[in-house]
């Protein structure tokens, strides 16, 4: 039986002694690797899942190369996402009032005379523009304060990843533990945690964060923790508990108990490993939630942080650039980024859902 596990080909099969000598962790590792491979091949069947993963990787690369670019090609004084400044200068021809056909190269006489009353129609004028449109130096233009939008975008990606992952890890750690513990012990412990989860589900999430931000000085890390805690004790705990419950009634759990496994041993060695795939799935959804929550809060101006996608949109909106289609680079890249990254984690989650949840698996 044992050698079957290893290799079906007798000529290549290691002899019994080798098999036994192979340390347990190696067997585990190999089994894990096999599981991962088969999981991957099912995942690769899902086109949306692959697209999602691709986008995530792309953003990951963006996040990583920004500090490298700052150190090499990008002058920090200009390209720093928060403190940088570049006065983009443009030459504009002065035309009579109301005859401006191309605002990128022309300026009307009235505006020009505000700068220098002696100017005439036909003169050229050198003006600094902020926000400046996309150019060679600034691929996505500059913001109203003369900072490079692309650099901001890339810098914010790192923050988004960090926030999303911290929040998701906290969520899943709490939810898995709570789920396993309440499934294993049942009774009062279960009731307590489940009522708490009901309560948290009912809490309007955003209003709570708004109230808290009025009371506390919110940093990104606090936010990640808070989102993680609320998520972990909330809906995710309920879902993971029902999964843990279906595991904890299986015979091998009883076997482990009879064999004298302590509570903790059974929970951590037997129940949690079986809940983990589902936990991992909900981690994806938690990342989505965390990224959107952060962006929304920064957009509303409630977070005390320097730069993020939400803040980029907040500033553009705050300074009245919303309704100017010529200034698209102020709002579109940041908004798209939030949507794309949050959506990608969601897509990956959905694709994993189809693998993990056999009920949804088709045919």
Partner 1 sequence: MLKYIGRRTLQNVLIFIVFLSATFFLLQAQPGDISQQFLANPKITPEVREQFREQLGLGGTVGEQYLTYMGNFFTGNLGISFSEYPREVSDILAERLPRTLALFLFATLLSFGLGFQSGKFLAWRRGSKTEPVVTTVGVFFQTVFYPWFALMMIWAFAFGLGWFPIGKFLTVEKWLDAPPGVEANGVFNRMLITALIVLVGVAAVEVVGRRAGDRRRGKRITWAGRILLVGGLWIWWATVWSEQAPYALDIAWHLVLPTVTLALIGFGATMLLTRASMLETLKEDFILTARAKGVPDKVIRDKHAARNALLPVTTSLVLSLAFLIGGGVVTETVFSWPGMGATLLSAALQEDIPLTIGAFAFIAVLALIAHLIIDIVYMYLDPRIRV
Query: Between 49 and 141, whose beta carbon lies closer to partner 1?
Result: 49
- Per-residue burial over 261-294, b if 16 or more Cβ lie within 10 Å, else e, is beeeebbeebbbebbeebbebbbbbbbbbbbbbb
| Residues in contact with 96: Cβ distance below 8 Å, sequence separation at least 6, in sequence order | 108, 109, 121
Interface with partner 1 includes 212 (CB under 8 A)?
Answer: yes
Binding mask 309-328 toward partner 1 (x if CB under 8 A, else -) reads xx--x---x----xx-x---
Grouping H, G, I as helix, E, B as strand and the rest as coil, residue 59 is: helix
Give the pairing of strands 88-95 and 106-108: parallel
Binds partner 1 by CB under 8 A, chosen from 78, 220, 302, 355:
302
Interface with partner 1 includes 156 (CB under 8 A)?
Answer: no
| Residues in contact with 35: Cβ distance below 8 Å, sequence separation at least 6, in sequence order | none
Interface with partner 1 includes 44 (CB under 8 A)?
Answer: no
Determine the Cα–Cα distance for residues 265 and 275; give it in Å rounded to an integer. Answer: 15
Region 332-351 residues binding partner 1, contact defined as CB under 8 A: 334-335, 338-339, 342-343, 346-347, 350
Interface with partner 1 includes 144 (CB under 8 A)?
Answer: no
Q: How far is the CB of 277 from partner 1 (least distance, A)?
A: 20
Interface with partner 1 includes 292 (CB under 8 A)?
Answer: yes
Grouping H, G, I as helix, E, B as strand and the rest as coil, residue 126 is: strand
Binds partner 1 by CB under 8 A, chosen from 19, 165, 169, 206:
206
Question: Which stretches of the chain bind partner 1, using CB under 8 A?
Answer: 47-48, 199, 201-208, 210-215, 235, 288, 292, 295-296, 299-302, 309-310, 313, 317, 322-323, 325, 331, 334-335, 338-339, 342-343, 346-347, 350, 360
């Amino acid at each position: 039986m044992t050698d079957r596990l290893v290799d079906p080909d007798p000529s290549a099969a290691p002899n019994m002694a080798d098999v036994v000598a192979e340390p347990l962790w190696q067997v585990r590792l190999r089994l894990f690797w096999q599981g991962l491979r088969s999981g991957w091949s099912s995942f690769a069947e899902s086109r949306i899942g692959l697209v999602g993963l691709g986008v995530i990787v792309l953003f990951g690369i963006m996040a990583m190369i920004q500090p490298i670019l700052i150190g090499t090609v990008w002058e920090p004084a200009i390209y720093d996402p928060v403190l940088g400044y570049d006065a983009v200068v443009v030459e504009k021809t002065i035309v009579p009032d109301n005859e401006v056909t191309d605002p990128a190269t022309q300026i009307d006489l009235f505006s020009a005379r505000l700068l220098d009353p002696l100017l005439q129609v036909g003169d050229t004028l050198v003006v600094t523009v902020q926000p400046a449109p996309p150019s060679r130096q600034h691929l996505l233009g500059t913001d109203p304060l003369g900072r490079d939008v692309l650099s901001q975008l890339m810098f914010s990606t790192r923050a988004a990843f960090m926030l999303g992952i911290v929040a998701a890890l906290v969520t899943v750690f709490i939810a898995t533990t709570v789920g396993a513990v309440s499934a294993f012990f049942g009774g009062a412990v279960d009731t307590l945690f489940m009522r708490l989860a009901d309560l948290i589900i009912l809490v309007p999430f955003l209003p709570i964060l708004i109230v808290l931000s009025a009371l506390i000085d919110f940093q990104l890390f606090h936010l990640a923790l808070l989102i993680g805690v609320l998520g972990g004790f909330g809906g995710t705990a309920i879902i993971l508990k029902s999964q843990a419950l279906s595991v904890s009634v299986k015979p091998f759990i009883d076997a482990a108990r009879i064999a004298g496994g302590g509570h903790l041993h059974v929970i951590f060695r037997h129940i949690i490993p079986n809940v983990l795939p589902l936990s991992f799935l909900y981690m994806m959804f938690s990342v989505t939630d965390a990224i959107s929550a952060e962006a929304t809060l920064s957009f509303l101006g409630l977070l005390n942080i320097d730069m993020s996608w939400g803040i980029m949109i907040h500033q553009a909106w705050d300074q009245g650039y919303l309704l100017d289609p010529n200034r698209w680079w102020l709002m579109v890249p940041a908004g798209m980024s939030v949507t794309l990254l949050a959506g990608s984690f969601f897509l990956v989650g959905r694709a994993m859902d189809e693998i993990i949840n056999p009920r949804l698996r088709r045919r």
